[in-house]
Amino acid sequence: MSDTKEITRRDFLSEITVGALGVAGLGGAALTYQYFSPNVLFEPSTTFRAGNPDLYPANSVTFLQDQQVYIVRTPDGFFAVSAVCTHLGCVTQWKPEANMIACPCHGSKFEPNGKKIEGPAPRPLPHFSVTLTADGELLVDKLQVIKADQVLKV
């Protein structure tokens, strides 16, 4: 009995109050975070149809401006490369005369397959999943990043 410290009623109540306020504060912070994270977004769809494969000539890089994606056709097949620079999110440009993708903001350079040549960009441009719809059109899903060696054979 002697080694247990006596707690007065006042101390007990004030500790309970501080604890309750702490819990309420944490809960409030969590609710505020949830409130500020939108559940519904009115942003462009991340899945889009890129048209019939015949639209793309052999050995070509085509920039789809609205989707910010390059559709690349090689002898092996199709793949889709993101046009958004991995450095700070600027939209890159395809330079056919130099056979490379270049970023106007900070000078990053990429090969047509997204591989980094030089510049501040930390990572290569990601490849997005490309599939064929039932009616034979290319379907790109920008939420599905795939390995760079995966190619859609048509």
Partner 1 sequence: MATSFQTTIENLRATRVWKSIFRRGPAITNRTRSVAVFGNLFLHWLPVKVREKSLRVRAAYYLGSLSFLLFLLLVITGVLLMFYYHPAAPNAYRDMKDLRFVVSNGVFLRNMHRIGAHLMVLLVFCHMFHVFYRGGYKPPHEFNWVIGVVLLILTLFLSYTGYLLPWDQLAFWAVTVGTNIISAMPIIGSKVRFVALGGNIVGENALLRFYVLHVVILPLLAFLFIGVHFWRVQKDGGLTVRSKDDDGKN
Q: Which residues here bind partner 1, judged by CB under 8 A?
A: 33, 36-38, 41-43, 87-90, 105
Question: Which residues, in sequence order, are CB contacts of 115 under 8 Å at separation 6+?
Answer: 124, 148
Instruction: Closer to partner 1 by CB, 8 or 33: give it.
Output: 33
Taking the C-alpha atoms of residue 94 and residue 75, their distance in angstroms, rounded to an integer, is 19
Least spacing, CB of residue 144 vs partner 1, in Å: 15
Instruction: Closer to partner 1 by CB, 33 or 153: give it.
Output: 33
The dihedral sign for the CA sequence 131, 135, 137, 142: negative
Instruction: Closer to partner 1 by CB, 82 or 113: give it.
Output: 82
Taking the C-alpha atoms of residue 65 and residue 142, their distance in angstroms, rounded to an integer, is 14
Instruction: Closer to partner 1 by CB, 4 or 42: give it.
Output: 42
Taking the C-alpha atoms of residue 13 and residue 65, their distance in angstroms, rounded to an integer, is 64
Angle at 46 between CA 45 and CA 48, to 5 degrees: 80
Least spacing, CB of residue 87 vs partner 1, in Å: 8
Least spacing, CB of residue 128 vs partner 1, in Å: 15
Least spacing, CB of residue 106 vs partner 1, in Å: 9
